[in-house]
Structures are given as C-alpha cells and as structure tokens.
Structure 1
C-alpha cells in the first residue's frame, strides 16, 4: 500500500462520489464494517444512474480470466453471493445459464487455454466440458453455420460442486437497485440530483482533500473522499493518462416466437472473443436478446485538453451507434448466428468504460493528494464482481495489505502502441456519423 496513506478512524465521515457498481458496493462494505463510518454517496442522477455502464439489462458473470488467478477467484467468491442475493430479491438478479466459449480453429486460443488451466488447477475441473465442432452443432443447432465457418472448438463452463451452474449473467440494473436498498438499510445517506448531487470539484488544503463541492455551490466536508465516477473519472481527476473513457457498442433484438423456440436454452456465449470481441446473452423475460462487442472502443475528446468524455443518450437522446459498428455486427452475426439476419435491431447504445492501460482496476490512494482514493479502471469487466468488489475497495480505504490491494495499486504503465489512437464516436465535420433508426432495420425484410 501507499506508505504515506492512513486509514480513516472509526466514526470518520466518508464521501463517495458515484452511485454505480464501485460506489454502491463500497458504500455497502464500509457501512457493514462496524466502524460507525458516516457515509454519504453523491450522484447527479437517481439510482440506477441512467447513463452508467451498470444500468443495463444484462452483464456477463464469469470466472474465465486467462492468466489472472485473482480475477478468477474474485468471480468465484462473488457468484456465491449472487446466488444468495437471488434468495433475497423478488426479481432474480442472477441467472445460471452457464457459458459457452468458442475459439476459432481446431484448438482453443491461448487465453482460453490459460483459463482452463487455472480453473482446473484450482480444483474445479468438473465445471468444464470441452466440446468439438460436432458436439457444439448437436447441442446448439443454431450454431451450425458458426462451426462450419471455423469456430469449431470450445468449452462450456457448467456445474459447481454443489450442483448449480457457476456462470451466466446478472440483471445489472436490478442488482444495483438491490445494493442501493441494502445501503439505505445500513444507514448510508444519498444526495442525488443535477445540482445538489453533482460533483464539481475537490475541496483541498494544500495536499489534503477535506471534502467536495457540488454544482449548487455547497461545500461538503469529509475525512475521506472516494471517487467512483466510472468512465467520467479521467475527465474529473488527473489520472496521469492511465485511464481513458471508451465507448463500446451494444445492440438488442426482439426475436419472434418461432426464433425464440429455435434459440431455446442458449447460454451466454463468447464467440472467438479474444479475436473478435463479440459476445451475447440468452433472450430475457422481456423477449430481448442482447449482443455486444468489447473492443478498443470509440473516443469522444472534449475541446481543449482532448480528454475523452462519455457521450450518452441522457444528454444526446437521439444517439445510436456508429454506422461502421452496425456493419461489423451484421457481418459477424451473418456467420455466427444467421437467424438474426431477418431481425431488426430494436435498440442500440454506446456503453462507456474506463479502460486502464493494462486492463486491470486502479483502486488506490491518489498520488497527488492525501485522503483521496480512486476506484476506477473497470475496463468493461467489473459488474460481475458487484457482490465482492466493495469489500476489496474497502480494504484499500482501510489500508489493508493483501494481494488485491497490491495488484490494484497506483502504477505508471506505458501505453501500448495505438492505445490512444482509436476511432472517434463523431467528429467535428460529422463525417463519422451514427446510424438512423431506419438503418437499424434488417435488409431481409
């Protein structure tokens, strides 16, 4: 841990800026710590925050993390709590569908092989069912074309030792609501709104952060401030170019009853993810099938310093996704899931991530300040950890040394070539444009 950072004393007043995954989970953990912390969460929106990445119909819950044993274990620990939360909630927040992971070619790619190695090495080999092309086709007839086109190896992560599926997806918006209520039950205070809850600046005495100022001009004193501001973080705090806000694309379909029946028992799937970035979900109870792509993402640089800032449907109501992105989806799905060719895209969104240079979280005291902790760098893979991430963030806040707090410590990483060279969401001349609603319709209709 930071050698100069001091943990807050019992009874300290703690401000958390941000009511998304990191902020709420941290508030829940700290308010459960029997330290009598006085905790207030600030956000410019009601919860779930409309344009937060955590406000979505689904997020993947997985423990397949290549060489990262820490993330694998954090996911396994989180899934136990996901199942517990299902018992507490009137609306299921976690769905045990299992997960199918494809790889192009006759053998799994290196990342998938590393995932299998670590899962098996941890004693969970009985969760894994490796599948060849014939087995995939037999079990999932709708993937016949994908197999014939080269996605002919894969595995299904299925059953844990106590006979429930260990992977699937969470209803992220409902999960956020659940944690929000848990926080309120624990006495956490919330100040929400475009003026009173909108962070404007830190209050400082030299290096020491003593609170925040909100957009209504009011100063709020605190012994500790935690910035959990998601993809907005690099635009409100100097993150030394270690984090960048990137826009990732998401689409929805509403399949017919006939197609729903054809896609029966579809699991969460990663379709040669290491190379393509595409992944998708089963059809939910509202008849929506979501497909997304995790890639380098789009940038939206602001004037002046050119720092990328989220551009969302909250402030740009008519936004969809770039034309090129729709073409990418259609070209990929024509091969992977051709049944979607006849479907209109019924919704399209740019979902904003805070991508760190190395793809790992940055949860640490900020090097320029005393009493300020940043919790960021979600890199598009935080929501599955909602039940446990706050516990780990609280350990950073309380200056506890462990393998997680060391792994997420502040660091200076040199960006790989092209890290900041990404396509623009739009440009000043509008030569990069978003699709119109009519362009979301299927050409097969």
Structure 2
C-alpha cells in the first residue's frame, strides 16, 4: 500500500481548506503538508464572487468578520464597491445601517450605468452603503493554490472517497479515485469539504451527531455581458440588493451574477440536482428584471451552488467524535467566504499552534460538535425556510 507522509493532511480544496493549508504552512514552514484538493469544479468556493461584509446580530461574529474584512481590504481580489439596497419606507432591514445614504432613482441609474429605472415597489427607497465589498473568490482560491505549491505543499488533485480508521478510531489512511488506498502517516487529518462532509463521513462509516449539518442548494443565475453592455454599464457598479435577491457585477468575468434567498434542503449531496427547485431560475430572472429591466428578454445561465450549514450558523472546528486525529473544519453559513483570510488561523489555534488570540479562543468555544439545545443562530435572517417542491 502506498504511503502518504506529512505533519498534517488536509482534505478539501475550497476556500476554507485553502485557508487552513496556507496558515499551517506559513506558521510552520518546515512541516510537510499534504493537501487533497479534489476534482469538483462547481462549488461555493469556485463561485465568481461573494459579498463581504461584517453585519451580524452576534457580536462575536461581528468582531471575527471585521478581522476578516481587515485582511480582505488589502487583498487584490477584494473590491469595496458598496451596494444599493431597496428598503420599504419605514421598514427595519438588515441591509440598512445608520451610515447609509438615501439616493434617488436617477442617482442609482448613474451609478450602475443604466438607461432604464429599476422597478421598485411604491414605498421602496434606495439606500447606498459604501462599507460593503465583494471578492473574486475563485481567483483568490487559485492564488492560494499557486502560493502553497511554491512553498512546498504536496498538492494532490484527486477525490478522497473514504477515510480509513483503525479499531482505536485513529485515521490510518484514505481511499481516493479508482479505490486506491493510501496508508497515512500524519499527526492530524483535517477534513474541510463543505457539503460533501456528511457523505464522506458516512462512506467512511464514521458516525457523527445528528441534526448538526444541513446540505442546502441555491440556484445562481448568470447574465453574460456583451461588448455593448460593458460599454454602457459601469463595470465598477455597486451591488443591487433587496428582499428578492442580489445583482453583483463581475468585472473579471464580464457578467452579472443573480442570487436569491430561495433555498432548498437535500438529504444528500448526490440529490442536489434532483430537487425540483434546482431547475427553476424564475426567481433569478425576476431579480434581473427588477434592477435592470433592459435585460428582461435576455437568456440567463444557471447553476446550483451547494453549501453546508450548521444548526446555528457557527463553524465546526473539532475532532470528530470517536476518532483520535480526525478534525472536521467547516463553515456554517452562506457567508463563510468572508472568513477566508482568518479561518485557517482559527484551525491553527485549535491545534495549539500560532500566536495567542483571545478572539479566536472565544469563537472556538462555539465550534464543537456538541451544541446547546437552545441556541441563538448567528444570523437568523438567513436560516433556510422549508421550500415547497
């Protein structure tokens, strides 16, 4: 049986897996790190871009998000373009903060470069926030891959099908594509595979607590922009957001991304595309028609973005119960991309490495598999609602 030798082995090629690998390698340059990135190309981490902001009702996660934002602001993939939010007059909205400025429809059109006014509700007002940004997440991920390869990380672009454990619960190896088993000689094996986590643990016959993990699907719409579109539109426009969803420009990919709060839950990642809502982009089209009526007759592309949510939106960074050296490390909400700069440092801190950090230590207290029976969600506004088939 071929052997894999490394101080730490990381399974999972998304943003958070990349963050872990980078933090471990930079923190201990002489350690040999093995990184199984997998082959999946359509994931939340390879999305064109993600909104980056610090708004949470949970004060601890506000501080953690601000720490992440401080790092993002110096990153070449980050764009602090702000957003314009449609808010019903007199309504309380999580999209509106005291520093936002009310703008007119004409000012909005000038900001985005549109000849047609958005189709707002009669009582809907437009509020401009400068503090919100977005990041080219797929590009950020590729930059980290290139960086850690240059630092000497052993990168294996194969899928891990099963984790092999011994009778004492210690991780002894992995099984990859073509059912090839590898013996593992490593201090820690860290699994950060997002919505593939339940499937991987189940395939490995490793039990984990019920009711903690949820696999959620979200349809993403894409409008490809023509050369004429790009000459007309402001390609540095702020995001357009409202109760119905968001329109986010990608200057790097020449497109408008259309997202909505319409989500659905599946019991297995393999059933993601079988759900009726996975084939329905009508809500994405409605968002486009509201903010950019001139494109209402244009065709859009769609894809289904899978995500892993925890019961309370907090991370899981903890040893899998019943094992000895197997660590699960996962984000817990749709907003996990904002923690790309500091998630790896959290895992590093969990492993007893890195500099002392009181904020990280406090966050880690809530990242166990064991959760309080009555727990406050870190962001109640984004708890998926039961969807009708």
Identify whether the pair has TM-score above 0.5, normalized to the shorter chain. Answer: yes
Superposition deviation, residue 150 in structure 1: 3.6
Match of 1:334 among 256, 268, 289: 289
Superposition deviation, residue 243 in structure 1: 0.9
Superposition deviation, residue 385 in structure 1: 2.0
- Specify whether residues 217 and 367 from structure 1 end up closer, same or farther in structure 2 by C-alpha distance, changes over 3 A only: closer
Q: Counterpart in 1 of 2:82?
A: 98
Pair 1:411 & 2:370 matched: yes
Q: Counterpart in 2 of 1:185?
A: 150
- Specify whether residues 343 and 217 from structure 1 end up closer, same or farther in structure 2 by C-alpha distance, changes over 3 A only: same
Match of 1:72 among 37, 52, 62: 62
Name the CA distance, whole Å, in 2 between partners of 1:389 and 1:108. 34
- Specify whether residues 412 and 72 from structure 1 end up closer, same or farther in structure 2 by C-alpha distance, changes over 3 A only: closer
Alignment of 1:375-386 (within 5 A): 375-386=329-340
Moved more, 241-250 or 355-364: 355-364
Pair 1:20 & 2:14 matched: yes
Write out per-residue CA displacement over residues 362-415 of structure 1, whole angstroms, 9 at most, x where no aligned residue.
Answer: 222223322221112442212222122111122123287712212323233669
- Show structure 2 runs of 5+ residues with no match: 202-207, 378-382
Q: Counterpart in 2 of 1:172?
A: 137
Any conservation in 2 of the 1:66–1:112 contact (CA below 8 Å)?
A: no
Write out per-residue CA displacement over residues 279-331 of structure 1, whole angstroms, 9 at most, x where no aligned residue.
Answer: 121252442111112333242xxxxxxx3214679xx9xx99744x3222233
- Specify whether residues 285 and 111 from structure 1 end up closer, same or farther in structure 2 by C-alpha distance, changes over 3 A only: closer
Name the CA distance, whole Å, in 2 between partners of 1:380 and 1:201. 26
Higher strand share: 2
Pair 1:364 & 2:318 matched: yes
Moved more, 377-386 or 18-27: 377-386
Pair 1:344 & 2:299 matched: yes
Instruction: Give the alignment's TM-score, normalised by structure 2.
Output: 0.80
- Specify whether residues 310 and 98 from structure 1 end up closer, same or farther in structure 2 by C-alpha distance, changes over 3 A only: farther
Any conservation in 1 of the 2:81–2:130 contact (CA below 8 Å)?
A: no
Alignment of 1:417-428 (within 5 A): 421-422=386-387
Name the CA distance, whole Å, in 1 between partners of 2:226 and 2:122. 25
Name the CA distance, whole Å, in 1 between partners of 2:350 and 2:71. 21
Superposition deviation, residue 73 in structure 1: 3.0
Any conservation in 2 of the 1:210–1:371 contact (CA below 8 Å)?
A: no
Name the CA distance, whole Å, in 2 between partners of 1:50 and 1:288. 19
Any conservation in 1 of the 2:264–2:386 contact (CA below 8 Å)?
A: no
Superposition deviation, residue 20 in structure 1: 1.0
- Specify whether residues 250 and 149 from structure 1 end up closer, same or farther in structure 2 by C-alpha distance, changes over 3 A only: farther
Moved more, 371-380 or 70-79: 70-79
Match of 2:161 among 175, 183, 199: 199
Write out per-residue CA displacement over residues 3-49 of structure 1, whole angstroms, 9 at most, x where no aligned residue.
Answer: xxxxxxxx97211111111111101101111374332111332xxx4
Name the CA distance, whole Å, in 1 between partners of 2:348 and 2:70. 19
- Show structure 1 runs of 5+ residues with no match: 1-10, 87-92, 118-127, 159-166, 300-306, 425-445
SS at match of 1:145: coil
Name the CA distance, whole Å, in 2 between partners of 1:151 and 1:204. 60
Pair 1:226 & 2:217 matched: no
- Specify whether residues 17 and 202 from structure 1 end up closer, same or farther in structure 2 by C-alpha distance, changes over 3 A only: same
Superposition deviation, residue 183 in structure 1: 1.6
Name the CA distance, whole Å, in 2 between partners of 1:73 and 1:220. 37
Name the CA distance, whole Å, in 1 between partners of 2:109 and 2:36. 51
Any conservation in 2 of the 1:107–1:153 contact (CA below 8 Å)?
A: no
Instruction: Give the alignment's TM-score, normalised by structure 1.
Output: 0.71
Pair 1:280 & 2:239 matched: no
